[in-house]
Amino acid sequence: MKILLLGSGGREHALAWKIAQSAACEQLYIAPGNAGTAAHGTNVNIAVNDFEQIRSFCIDHQIDMLVPGSEEPLVLGIYDFFKSDDALRHIPVIGPSKEGAQLEGSKAFAKQFMQRHHIPTASYREFDDSSFEEGLAYLLQHPVPIVLKADGLAAGKGVVITSAYEEAAAEFEGMIKSAKFGDAGRKVVIEQFLTGIELSVFVLTDGKNYKILPTAKDYKRIGEGDTGLNTGGMGAVSPVPFATDAFMEKVENTIIRPTVEGLRKEGIIYQGFIFFGLINVEGEPFVIEYNCRMGDPETEVVIPRLQNDLPELFTAVQQERLDTMQIAEDPRAAATVMLVSKGYPEAYEKGREITGIPLPAKDQLVFHAGTRAADNKVLTNGGRVMTVTSLAGDLRIALAHSRQTAEDIQFEGKYYRRDIGYEFIS
């Protein structure tokens, strides 16, 4: 099989590393990829949202499978683009239709979907320009903290949580009246604040059947002790110690199955990953958000623990026979620690040389995120630069190994959190 993977983050490096190990993968291309993905296939200089160029590439290189790593092409409708084109229709796309991707692309769509299928989530109301005054009144009598969510994709920045009414009102007005998050924020969801500990659950579905992948927890805040600004993710661990069999049974019965069945009943085409962003409220799971792709950096701990052949699973997805597959998990724990550029998630510099990147080892993998190769050097090319994943029988050991390597890798302005996994090792 000739496979084209779309994306350029640590998630895509982990996916490329895994896909390239499959005997079924004859050739792997990554568009646009990074300095790390180039070790597992051929990087192609095409942006993930440039559908016309992706189309030409697939035809010219006789691509047999498309794997979108990030949400952008999915929310923009790459599935539908392929299925409505005579020259591309035969190529399986591992991801949902544009309608299915609305689970991530529209908070209002996701909330309505959950309500229709009685899936536990925070109670909410949605407002737009026509209900602005009503929304303001609703907000001012809402218990604090108040959670405001811009409806569409907002690069992880569309959620505001505040206990100050004035700030909430100003944010609400900014979202609706001044389009603070562009059209993404023209509609706003105001929801109940849930208190608990979050985790990420990933499912691969063929539209009828599903398989649950290893659980993970990511660390979104920039600062140690979960302080400071939200980021794309500063590290992750897998498995999640509190995701016991009893808890996961509740997740499957009240959340996963109703979601997959709900999509099928509504005729929404969905053959790909579903990312359930969950919160454990006193032992009961609630959905915080859906994403239509794998998480980053969760993929960097989930994929190394997955013992299956990934292209084989993808083929089973396309042939709607996931029920014949068995997921095999490495019993060891995995931890990943993300190295970022000083200033991230706000302004940061690029182009710094990275040294001290270790060679791949049995129990450790370095996945590149924002990097690029130039003149035999590896340079920083993003806020999240690379992540160090370690596997060990004990999470504590995996974390210590990742921290040590994070220390050894050098670039100007390097920062990483030393407390990833803190709540599970004290």
72 near ligand GLY, judged by CB under 6 A: no
382 near ligand GLY, judged by CB under 6 A: no
Select the binding partner of residue 147 from ligand AMP, ligand GLY, none (C-beta < 5 to 8 A, by kind).
ligand AMP
Do 18 and 3 touch, CB atoms closer than 8 A? no
Select the binding partner of residue 157 from ligand AMP, ligand GLY, none (C-beta < 5 to 8 A, by kind).
none
* Least separation in angstroms between CB 347 and ligand GLY: 21
DSSP 215: P
Select the binding partner of residue 218 from ligand GLY, ligand AMP, none (C-beta < 5 to 8 A, by kind).
ligand GLY
Q: State the residue for tokens 């993404």.
A: 184
Nearer to ligand GLY, 113 or 275 (CB): 275
Nearer to ligand AMP, 64 or 296 (CB): 296
Which is nearest to 279 in space by CA: 201, 191, 162?
201
- Please list, residue by residue across 238-258, b when 16 or more beta carbons sit within 10 angstroms of its beta carbon and e when fewer do: bbbeebeeebbeebbebbbeb
Select the binding partner of residue 296 from ligand GLY, ligand AMP, none (C-beta < 5 to 8 A, by kind).
ligand GLY
Select the binding partner of residue 193 from ligand AMP, ligand GLY, none (C-beta < 5 to 8 A, by kind).
ligand AMP
Query: Across the chain, how many H-helices and E-strands are there?
Result: 13, 24
Positions 261 through 300 that interact with ligand GLY (CB under 6 A): 291, 295-296, 298
Please tell me the count of residues contacting ligand GLY according to CB under 6 A. Answer: 6
Alpha-helical regions (H) of 76-187: 78-83, 102-105, 107-116, 132-140, 165-177
* Least separation in angstroms between CB 158 and ligand GLY: 12
What's the longest Cα–Cα distance across the chain? Answer: 60
Spatial separation of the C-alpha atoms in residues 165 and 249, rounded to whole Å: 38
Nearer to ligand GLY, 120 or 233 (CB): 233
Select the binding partner of residue 198 from ligand GLY, ligand AMP, none (C-beta < 5 to 8 A, by kind).
ligand AMP
Nearer to ligand GLY, 127 or 286 (CB): 286
Phi, psi of 72 (to 5 degrees): -55, -55
The site map against ligand GLY for 216-255 (x = CB under 6 A) is --x--------------x----------------------
Which is nearest to 172 in space by CA: 132, 226, 114?
132
How many CB atoms are closer than 10 A to CB 328? Answer: 11
Strand 414-415 with 333-341, pairing: antiparallel
User: 349, exposed or middle or buried, with CB in 10 Å at 0-12, 13-18, 19+?
Assistant: exposed
Nearer to ligand AMP, 226 or 312 (CB): 226
Spatial separation of the C-alpha atoms in residues 358 and 378, rounded to whole Å: 13
* Least separation in angstroms between CB 297 and ligand GLY: 6
Spatial separation of the C-alpha atoms in residues 80 and 64, rounded to whole Å: 17
* Per-position DSSP letters for 295-355, written without gaps between them: -TTTHHHHHHHB-S-HHHHHHHHHTT-GGG----B-SSEEEEEEEEETTTTSS-----EEB
Residues at the contact surface with ligand AMP, assessed by CB under 6 A? 122, 147, 149, 159, 161, 191-194, 198, 220, 277, 288-289
Select the binding partner of residue 233 from ligand GLY, ligand AMP, none (C-beta < 5 to 8 A, by kind).
ligand GLY
Phi, psi of 290 (to 5 degrees): -110, 145
Spatial separation of the C-alpha atoms in residues 50 and 54, rounded to whole Å: 6
Nearer to ligand GLY, 58 or 101 (CB): 101
* Least separation in angstroms between CB 291 and ligand GLY: 6
* Least separation in angstroms between CB 369 and ligand GLY: 12
The site map against ligand GLY for 293-312 (x = CB under 6 A) is --xx-x--------------
Residues that bind ligand GLY (CB under 6 A): 218, 233, 291, 295-296, 298
